[in-house]
Structure 1
């Protein structure tokens, strides 16, 4: 193993999907800075959040534990906070359960986070192990304090680097939010994709079918349960999508995608300024740079626009680029979980991982002395609890979705199967045509579930029988408590809206299922 990096920069971009980055094959020039970073480092194509969206994802990432073990799979209610460790907890809570940041601190790194995330979600578990957390909030009340633009994040970064850039060892977490709705890139940045066509996969035929369906953030209800944004008043000049808007054509789809891609491009530009600052300080070459995301973003797939509702490819597949000292350049196509990053970084710095982590290191995939080893997983299981209660199984070219609560989305069926090689945007459910593949996927899901529950019962890895409900799958608790947080209590008002907008059949279907 090469000498450990003395400095680590983790760039955490909210709602960033890899297939809208140039280095992942996107035709639009959204990410020239990230593309250059990818050329110098290792790019991972099958890297997935175990638990989506934001709060479950970062809880899993920083604790290196599955949501089925931490209990955090939702944005509210009993499954939003991590379970206490019970009598496993000691004075400093370091008995194998240490966070990723805590493990780095034990190796001598000064750890800091510049992000509004902890306060935004009251995510105190994510704060564990940091020496310093700055609540890097925005200033424009029309967007919201919790969602700063990249230009509002950089002053926090500059101030931090003024004080710490040349110290011996540090880890810095920088959180950008620009690809997240409402796509509020400052107007003066212009419209870089105005003359470029939108992705071709979403046809008018698909749009017309989606408009017959119900669901939050769907083609006709793009802003939660209606087509009017609750964030802005008339005359705002920030949102790239009008405050009253739905997807009824390829042209309106282009408006939506242009807003997302402009946010990506704006973030990328400011990432370039951040990296330039490291070069000015003379520390760029000694910094391990990691770029990833908490989750992706639905841009029409399965009738979800501008949010992250499912346990599918568009929500859970996230970019991962690692570049810096000792890192080989190349592409890795093996399956890895986001929770595998913590033990990977600890191996790269020559440190010790938490003995109760669920993650497995794939450090050898990044380095010249070990890149012939296969550290990937045979298959992955992905979970969603905030907008639906759903698990996905990802293996070979297949994605199987098992839905337990549809989050008021009528397009979802109990079991769905997609061939991502030929259908990356999940347009054709093959479950009825390929029952033998469905059987394989459900078998893998059952195997994964049994293994996680056995770990909990046996007090192994991230499982913990000494905590309340520690041997209970939080997905069942989520459903018993009313289902996904963001759709609880909305059934009556939403079915009324559906009838008023000519979708009485969908209203009846939701009442039959959930009433």
Structure 2
């Protein structure tokens, strides 16, 4: 909430924010980042702390071109090129961004043959293709005897919906298919025993956890919490409360903003038509308990308001005006629909209703085209 980067492509990270790359560089690490998508270009403020931030989106050019994304094989080639030339006398921090599992799903043909020539097969094929190149990066570390001395963290920033709640993709809602992502911490020396964490953790917990592992001070302004204690013991603790939001419907279509919290096994979503789910009994979020458990919903709504108030800062948000080129890039990646509402003035349309209209409009447009 605090950094106010609420959506892709229309916001930028301000210099006052502290990044993990900055903290690692402070303790003597050479820092490297390579990205695979337009939405992470340096102009969005994301290169803070990196000695070299490769956002060229081209294997041969070290300047920004007009591609919107690159595949895992090119990202791996870029990483390998840097890895061979890095300062061998210094430790390194590398962020390798892979973008393959995004629509339209177009893995190599052999992956479609394996997983199926259909939508989910395409998605699974892109995940597998990406995984192949993660393996190649690990092989690079093995080849120079660095794997045992390297902390590897693998994660994703969103799930993917396949129509469970009328959404295809990951931008509009905060249902479990949108929110749940893999998170793996790997080092055979530090974590010799395989362990699965049963407690819910958050992506904003990754930075403080890494800093904790490296015995570094965690900045006060960091909202996440280190879960280092979970990495060394198989014990479930009381669940923390997590804030969730999606502003994409608001930013693109002027729909009502979606905010909510996950508190113990309940998820509350604040919308014109509010939602309350018992995730312990209803993982697919089909049974809205808002009316049946209205008192609980109101309690969670107050808790949500308190969280938002506590962590929001005064001042204007870090928003930027889209150029024509920016808009074309975001459209090619699916973050902006070519048919979206050009009037971004806020409405009170619930995204659940808005997406039905949007889907219908897309169907009609496809038939016309």
SS at match of 1:303: coil
Q: Root-mean-square deviation (CA), in Å?
A: 3.2
SS at match of 2:2: helix
Q: Gaps (5+ residues) in structure 1?
A: 1-67, 86-96, 195-239, 241-254, 404-412, 457-464, 471-483, 503-515
1:326 is aligned to 2:259:
no
User: Hey, what does 2:279 align to over in structure 1?
Assistant: 420
Q: State which drifts further: 118-127 or 351-360.
A: 118-127
> Deviations 1:392-417 (Å, cap 9, x if unpaired)?
211222222112xxxxxxxxx62012
Aligned mate of 1:171, from 84, 87, 93: 93
SS at match of 2:224: coil
> With CA pairs under 8 Å and 6+ residues apart, which has the higher RCO, 1 or 2?
1
Counterparts of residues 172-211 of structure 1 (less than 5 Å): 172-194=94-116
How far apart in 2 are the matches of 1:359 and 1:303? 31
> What is the TM-score when the length of structure 1 is the normalising length?
0.56
Aligned mate of 1:385, from 224, 247, 257: 247
User: Hey, what does 2:306 align to over in structure 1?
Assistant: 447
> Deviations 1:329-383 (Å, cap 9, x if unpaired)?
3111223221121111111112223232222222222236xx7695x76210111
User: Hey, what does 1:402 align to over in structure 2?
Assistant: 270
1:311 is aligned to 2:179:
no
User: Hey, what does 1:153 align to over in structure 2?
Assistant: 75
Q: State which drifts further: 334-343 or 175-184.
A: 334-343
Q: Gaps (5+ residues) in structure 2?
A: 60-65, 251-256, 319-334, 345-353, 365-369
Q: Post-superposition shift, 1:262? A: 1.0
Q: Post-superposition shift, 1:135? A: 1.9
1:72 is aligned to 2:5:
yes
User: Hey, what does 1:30 align to over in structure 2?
Assistant: none
Aligned mate of 1:335, from 175, 180, 200: 200
Q: Post-superposition shift, 1:469? A: 6.3
How far apart in 1 are the matches of 2:139 and 2:266? 41
Decide whether the 8 Å contact of 2:41 with 2:55 is kept in 1. no
How far apart in 2 are the matches of 1:275 and 1:136? 23
> Deviations 1:480-506 (Å, cap 9, x if unpaired)?
xxxx976442799x969958979xxxx
Decide whether the 8 Å contact of 2:198 with 2:236 is kept in 1. no
Q: Post-superposition shift, 1:112? A: 0.5
Aligned pairs, number: 322
> Deviations 1:307-335 (Å, cap 9, x if unpaired)?
33223322222221101142353111223
1:359 is aligned to 2:224:
yes
> Deviations 1:110-155 (Å, cap 9, x if unpaired)?
111111346655553221111111125268xxxx832222122211
Counterparts of residues 293-312 of structure 1 (less than 5 Å): 293-312=156-175
Aligned mate of 1:436, from 295, 300, 304: 295
SS at match of 2:70: coil
Q: 1:386 to 1:495 in 2, by over 3 A?
A: closer
User: Hey, what does 1:24 align to over in structure 2?
Assistant: none
Q: 1:76 to 1:130 in 2, by over 3 A?
A: closer
Q: 1:102 to 1:82 in 2, by over 3 A?
A: closer
Q: 1:182 to 1:445 in 2, by over 3 A?
A: same
Decide whether the 8 Å contact of 1:296 with 1:308 is kept in 2. no
> Deviations 1:387-440 (Å, cap 9, x if unpaired)?
34201211222222112xxxxxxxxx6201222233323233222233233223
User: Hey, what does 2:332 align to over in structure 1?
Assistant: none
How far apart in 1 are the matches of 2:159 and 2:358? 31
1:346 is aligned to 2:208:
no
> What is the TM-score when the length of structure 2 is the normalising length?
0.76
Decide whether the 8 Å contact of 2:8 with 2:39 is kept in 1. no
Aligned mate of 1:110, from 7, 27, 30: 30
